[in-house]
């Protein structure tokens, strides 16, 4: 076993526009699993918009320096005491949820994502932008053999949180579901929705013509800009954008009793004033709802992995070597938004 590993480390928070290379390469000791933990040799790690939230302090890390990354795919290479769930060599995945207390009303009712002691991978514990990582074994998931490492990585957050948003949307087969934005999460959730609800009508709002063409290629029934009107009022909208403007634009597209689900850990603050555009009585009257997604549970991760393992659901990915993590982050913020981005080791 190696004694040191390569990692990409964040030392402090700052806007990416001010510090376009926030991560530095470092050689660190390979972590040692404690009681109940497993050591994972990382094979791939997804690059997520929440990583930008960490870097830009919308959800700041609890310590520095820290290793980001919470879509971790790898192989078990070590086990601490009382860790017996996985055997050596097992393929596992780790998502945003790193730990929870296991004792509060939320944990005991399967809503561990709401636990006051919720710990996040890559924010409250070192994550997967490194050759090795440790995690409590109860918060790792078995990976289906049919899923390649790079395909599995985006499912651990973009897929899982999108799957949770789909559940929270309350839609039923035959409803009209809107997608606000069409990046890493949106393109996975659309495939999941088409599989789970064959008669669902899927309408995608995206600024980029390329994203709209991509959505049509994956089975969307209609695409348009945020100012366009879909063929019918929407039962629900899943919003995967980093800004508030879609809420103002798409609230009028919801039917009475419709639900707007915000699928994001944090929103950027640059357009908070856009909320003033919403005329409450006209657009959010008639029992329309705004529903937020808070993190993910282990169930979300396990179910989306199982769904992908038994169907044709597969993310489209752009691959980068670990050393190019800064380039991947900049591409995510400023560049091509098609599909997901994954670091490989």
> What pLDDT does 312 receive?
86
Which residues partner with 239 through β-bridges?
Answer: 180, 262
Residue 307 lies in a domain: no
- Domain with residue 224: its CATH number is 3.40.50.720
Task: Give the contacts of 105 (CB within 8 A, at least 6 positions apart).
Answer: none
Residues 286 and 332 in one domain: no
Nearest to 191 by CA among 313, 296, 279, 91: 313
Residues 219 and 272 in one domain: yes
Residue 336 lies in a domain: yes
> What pLDDT does 130 receive?
98
Residues 268 and 329 in one domain: no
Residues 219 and 88 in one domain: no
Residues 92 and 212 in one domain: no
Residues 165 and 273 in one domain: yes
> What pLDDT does 178 receive?
98
Rounded distance between C-alpha atoms, residue 296 and residue 182, angstroms = 20
> What pLDDT does 58 receive?
93
Residues 179 and 80 in one domain: no
Rounded distance between C-alpha atoms, residue 77 and residue 71, angstroms = 18
Residue 63 lies in a domain: yes
The domain tally of the chain equals 2
> What pLDDT does 244 receive?
85
Which pTM does this prediction carry? 0.93
Residue 20 lies in a domain: yes
Residues 135 and 241 in one domain: no
> What pLDDT does 211 receive?
93
> What pLDDT does 279 receive?
56
Residue 55 lies in a domain: yes
Residue 151 lies in a domain: no
- Domain with residue 329: its CATH number is 3.90.180.10
Count CA atoms closer than 13 A to 165's CA, side-chain side.
34
Nearest to 337 by CA among 191, 214, 193: 214
**Cis-peptide into 65, omega within 30 deg:** yes
> What pLDDT does 50 receive?
94
Residue 305 lies in a domain: no
Residues 272 and 329 in one domain: no
> What pLDDT does 245 receive?
85
Residues 264 and 216 in one domain: yes
For the chain, 345 residues long, give each residue's pLDDT as a single digit of tens.
Answer: 789 999 999 999 999 999 999 999 999 999 999 999 999 999 999 999 999 999 999 999 999 999 999 999 999 999 999 999 999 999 999 999 999 999 999 999 999 999 999 999 999 999 999 999 999 999 999 999 999 999 999 999 999 999 999 999 999 999 999 999 999 999 999 999 999 999 999 999 999 999 999 999 999 999 999 999 999 999 999 999 988 888 888 999 999 999 999 987 677 766 666 555 555 556 667 888 999 999 999 999 999 999 999 998 989 999 999 999 999 999 999 977 789 999 999
> What pLDDT does 152 receive?
97
> What pLDDT does 314 receive?
87
Query: What range defines the domain where residue 85 resides?
Result: 4-143+315-344
Residue with tokens 């924010």, as numbered in its chain: 123
pLDDT tens sequence across 106-165? 999 999 999 999 999 999 999 999 999 999 999 999 999 999 999 999 999 999 999 999
Nearest to 117 by CA among 109, 107, 127, 108: 107
Residue 19 lies in a domain: yes
Would you say 309 and 147 are in contact if contact means Cβ atoms under 8 Å apart? yes
Residues 137 and 176 in one domain: no
Residues 8 and 127 in one domain: yes
């Amino acid at each position: 076993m190696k004694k040191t590993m390569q990692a990409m480390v964040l030392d402090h928070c700052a806007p990416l526009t001010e510090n376009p290379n926030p991560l530095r390469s470092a050689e660190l000791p390979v972590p040692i699993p404690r009681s109940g933990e497993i050591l994972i040799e990382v094979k791939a790690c997804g690059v997520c918009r929440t990583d930008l939230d960490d870097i830009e302090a919308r959800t700041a890390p609890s310590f520095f320096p820290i290793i980001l990354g919470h879509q971790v795919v790898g192989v078990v290479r070590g086990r601490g005491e009382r860790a017996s769930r996985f055997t050596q060599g097992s393929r596992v995945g780790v998502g945003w949820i790193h730990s929870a207390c296991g004792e509060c009303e939320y944990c005991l009712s399967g809503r561990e994502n709401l636990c006051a002691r919720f710990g996040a991978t890559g924010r409250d514990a070192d994550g997967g932008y490194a050759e090795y990582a440790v995690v409590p074994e109860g918060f790792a998931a078995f990976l289906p053999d049919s899923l390649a490492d790079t395909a599995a990585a985006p499912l651990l957050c973009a897929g899982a949180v999108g799957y949770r948003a789909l559940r929270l949307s309350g839609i039923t087969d035959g409803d009209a579901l809107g997608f606000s934005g069409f990046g890493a999460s949106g393109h996975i959730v659309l495939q999941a929705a088409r599989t789970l609800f064959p008669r669902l009508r899927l309408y995608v709002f995206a600024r980029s013509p390329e994203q709209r063409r991509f959505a049509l290629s994956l089975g969307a029934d209609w695409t348009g800009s945020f100012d366009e009107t879909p063929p019918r009022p929407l039962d629900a909208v899943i919003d995967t954008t980093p800004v508030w403007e879609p809420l103002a634009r798409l609230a009028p597209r919801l039917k009475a009793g419709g639900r707007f689900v915000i699928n994001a850990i944090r929103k950027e603050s640059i357009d908070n004033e856009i909320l003033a555009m919403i005329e409450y009585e006209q657009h959010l009257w008639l029992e329309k709802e705004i529903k937020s997604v808070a993190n993910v549970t282990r169930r979300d991760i396990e179910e989306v992995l199982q769904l992908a393992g038994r169907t044709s659901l597969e993310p489209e990915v752009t691959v980068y070597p670990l050393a190019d993590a800064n380039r991947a982050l900049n591409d995510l913020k400023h560049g091509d938004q098609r599909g997901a981005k994954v670091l490989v080791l």
